[in-house]
Structure 1
Amino acid sequence: MMNLDTTIADYLDRGQLPFLPTDHFIAGAWSPPASGERMESFDPGRAAPFHAVAAGDEEDVERAVSAASSAQRAWGRTKPSARGAILVEAARLLKAEADRFAFVESLDSGKPLQEALGDVSGAARAFEYYGACANAIEGATFPLGPDYLGYSIPEPVGVTAHIIPWNYPLSTAARGIAPALAAGCTVVAKPAETTPLTMLMLAELLSRAGLPDGVCNVVTGTGPAAGAPLVADRRVRHVTFTGSVPTGISVMTAAARNVATVVLELGGKSPLVVLADADLGAAAEGAIGAIFENAGQICSAGSRLIVERGVHDDLVARIAEKARALAMGHGLTRPTLGPLNSEAHLGRVAAKVDAAGARGLTPLLGGRAATDPATGKGWFFEATIFDDVAATDPLVTDEIFGPVLTVQVAEDADHALELANGTDYALVAGIYTTNFAAAHRLAQEIDAGQVFVNEYFAGGIEVPFGGNRQSGFGREKGFAAMRNYMRVKSVAARIA
């Protein structure tokens, strides 16, 4: 069993690493890239490469989809209870190996280690939950009268593709792959090129948990080289995608050519509404987590604070004080604010903040790229707050995907609702108030796939998650996710 503190010290002090996967995982085994090409994986906290993995292409995707297709019939006909038992065993192994997975997740993505440990715990919970859901799959009977028997049979849709983002590699993989496996589907996963490692490790762990060869396959590579041929393959019957709006549109277009179903979890510009009667201490703490967890690199981040004017000054002062206390550092040192995932993404965030400055907006706090104070290295951006921003400004309307909080001032609850619905995105929303009726009226009228009341990011794997409008469609998590991976066959028989 890995000693976490020793492994961290070995890496930070001497650059030594435990075994990390280098190849694709296809048909139950490590598989080198057909081209022989490799791509580097970078440590965002040091802005330096630390490993290399397979740079996959269409030939590798072909092998992975063929393996999944060959395994589909047997896996789909496996008893649901047996499928569920494998998922529960995978959850047990994930818990036992949490330190190893969290170390790699933190190193590859840059996120603070304590957040990575939470992600591993959440992934394990997903496999537990869907292990149980496998036993809850059932059809229905139809009242056709005494001369007929009518019933439905839920069937797996077949081979599924999973395009996994870089901000939550393990937990996003688990929330899609676990229900797919529970429903009897096979999987080909393509992790983001900047964070390939924990998905590879997860596939190998599933194999050790008893998953048959070919049921879960992983091809690493870029979107154009590996992701595009995967979603375009005619044998793929469903695509689960998390990422940007433009790429989501491309994925949906490719899937439509094969009449394959899709679930799209896209961008967000989620409002956190604080009414005048709210517990401001709780609201300030919630706002800090909503925007600065994972350095704001969260689709559902509470990136817009909408606060009633009467408590605006007090609340913003509390949030700014907490934000100033955030400590930047390498993810493995357990900072409260980690780096951004890549140099390219740091450039995108900095460009949007610089553009705001060019429009005459001055941040209340932060606003600049930075480095790790301990080493002078890494891709960091300061915790940033812009106060009292107009509803039409790009800081309000455009997703930044970084540690940048935009504050909007509302005159009352009705104005807060108008502001909350004032962008093209509709992923999640948060509400802080002690007025039960006001909370639930807003929850009904805010356009969002999920609404948190008095605790941002409340809920868990049991609660369906997904967006509306430019934030996508379909639902992950909860039993609702199982329906993404099942089709219904109806049978009507004359019996008299």
Structure 2
Amino acid sequence: MPERDGNFIDGAWTQAESGETFEVVNPARTDEVVSTFPLSDESDAARAVEAARAAADDWANTPGPARGKILREAGSLLEDRREDLVQLLTREEGKTHDEARPEVVRTVDIFYHYAEKAADYGGTVKAANSSRKTLHTRKEPLGVAALITPWNYPIAIPAWKLAPALAAGNTVVIKPATQAPTVAAEVVGALEEAGLPDGVVNLVTGPGSAVGEAFTTHPEVDAVSFTGSGVVGTEVYRGATAEGKRAQAEMGGKNPTVVMPSADLDEAVSIVGAGAFGVTGQACTACSRAIVHADVYDEFVAGIVDYAESLSVGAGDEGNDMGPQISEGELEGTLDYVDVAKTEGATLATGGERLEDGEHADGFFVEPTVFADVDNDSRLAQEEVFGPVLAVIRAEDFEEAVTAANDTRYGLSTSIVTDSHAEANEFVDRAEAGVVKVNEKTTGLELHVPFGGVKESSTNTFREQGDAGLDFFTTTKTVYRNY
């Protein structure tokens, strides 16, 4: 793959005006520098917005099928480079190959999906209330969209914001997370090679306090789409809406899986374990609470402990089951919550230690961790950890389990494992979450249906993905024609 280690502004790869840079390191081998990117500031962000604004009218007037052709070609280029991108994603973010590969495949599929949508997302024809009159709607782009994306899905999330924004006819400025910008730059590079006109997509790397804030408040930006932490997302949303922009923010979660006695217990353990420890627990949809019926509680705890202890932890390119955390700060945050849980009286069933010896000496590794006897009012059960830590909570019956599942300020993803149709249906009806699953892990999303949360997991304004992703980036014009 071509090396791309700069900002991409108005069709050119360039460095920050200050000349300053930062290094991206492999979280499994911190002595390995993966890439070096510009440490940009407000002036670089402003140049990117100006380029996007200058290109906006021409791109908006480009026919949808022509926009779709470019998206399709970009998807094809990414597909051709799949295995190289898998290697790069593992080195940059720490995912295992088995986790990185589906994310890359999903990225390709997102571009193919919105390539087709670009050709037919035009509006609707409605019946008028009198003769010699037609009535129809038109979907039109908002203008310049600012995208601020996180490090935990550093290629898929940029794709699921970029593709619908471009398909709908918007120009884009994007700030990827500083911990993992390299794969996002590869996506932008594929769009460049696919023939995207200059200025239509502009990528700027650097701190959110400088680049992200400049994008959020710039008067020429029409829409802001953010994924990340609740604290930052709330500030981004407030800043954008104060300026009259359309905004959405998808943020954290404290996602439960309810386990009922009718469930196959081995299946329940596998579902919870995959949701809790997959991608090292670094997913907004990760299962961090297992709410287990008292009749199977002890057996479940024994099973999930065996599951956690069976996982091999190490570099993602060496066939391990779980990779490192992304940074020293994230690792320390996880270990802090281990201490909090002990102080609160939870029982440490397994894990809880940093791995520092041998192959783990140069990375940010932690053991998969399970706490039993967790009080649902405790900090461990209420605050997002963003690491491989599972809290197991006892429930005496179905009613108590549903109440505990909903008893959180978050509402992103939730699931139940049961063989009872009545329990499954009632859980779906009563669950306070944007994503509800039955006999599935809390993680994992289909790209053609809406995604988003409620409560403090989301601003709950617009959903992402599917047609909902296009809706955020468009406005509707209603046309009356008398003849």
Equivalent residues in 2 for 1:109-188 (5 A)?
Answer: 109-140=93-124, 141-146=126-131, 148-188=133-173
> Alignment partner for residue 463 of structure 1, among 449, 453, 478?
449
The runs of at least 4 aligned residues of structure 1 exceeding 3 Å deviation read: none
Whether the 8 Å contact between 1:268 and 1:425 is mirrored in structure 2 is yes
Amino acid corresponding to residue 480 of structure 2 in structure 1:
A
TM-score normalised by L of structure 1: 0.93
Distance 2:209 2:310 in 1: 41
Does residue 478 (structure 1) correspond to residue 429 (structure 2)? The answer is: no
Measure how far apart 1:380 and its partner are.
1.1
* Aligned twin of 1:82: 66
1:453 CA displacement: 1.3
- Residues 175-254 of structure 1: pairs in structure 2 closer than 5 A: 175-254=160-239
Amino acid at match of 2:267: A
What residue number does 1:270 align with? 255
Q: Give matches, 1:344-383, under 5 Å.
A: 344-371=329-356, 373-383=358-368
Structure 2 residue matching 1:111: 3-state secondary structure: coil
Deviation of 1:342 after TM superposition, in Å, equals 0.6
Q: How far 1:99 moved relative to its partner?
A: 1.4
Change (3 A) 1:360 1:459: closer
CA separation of 1:389 and 1:440: change in aligned 2, threshold 3 A: same
The answer to whether 1:91 aligns with 2:79 is no
Residues 1:401 and 2:386 aligned together = yes
Please state how far the C-alpha of 1:158 moved relative to its aligned partner.
1.0
- The residue number in structure 2 matching 1:8 is none
Please state whether the residue corresponding to 1:462 is helix, strand or coil: coil
Between the aligned residues of both structures, percent identity stands at 37
SS of structure 2 residue aligned to 1:195: coil
Letter in 2 for 1:382: E
Shift of 1:339: 0.5
CA shift, 1:375, in A, is 4.8
Give CA-to-partner distance per residue, 1:215-263, whole Å, 9 cap, x none: 1111000111211111111111111100111101110111112211112
- Between the aligned partners of 2:337 and 2:31, the Cα distance in structure 1 is 24
Identify unmatched segments of 5+ residues in structure 2.
Answer: none
| Matched AA of 1:93 | L
Distance 2:371 2:30 in 1: 27
Shift of 1:273: 1.0
Question: Which residue is equivalent to 2:290?
Answer: 305
Return 453-462 or 319-328, whichever deviates more. Answer: 453-462
Give, as a single letter, the amino acid of the residue that structure 1 aligns with 2:355. Answer: A
Asked whether the equivalents of residues 20 and 197 of structure 1 are also in contact (C-alpha less than 8 Å), the reply is no
d(CA) in 2 for partners of 1:459, 1:228: 29
Q: 1:366, 1:375 → 2: CA distance?
A: 15
- Report the CA distance between 1:372 and its aligned residue: 6.3
Query: What's the C-alpha RMSD, in Å, of the aligned pairs?
Result: 1.5
CA distance in 1 between counterparts of 2:379 and 2:361 reads: 31
Distance 1:83 1:327 in 2: 44
* CA distance in 2: counterparts of 1:455 and 1:488, whole angstroms: 36
Number of positions where the alignment pairs a residue of Structure 1 with one of Structure 2? 478
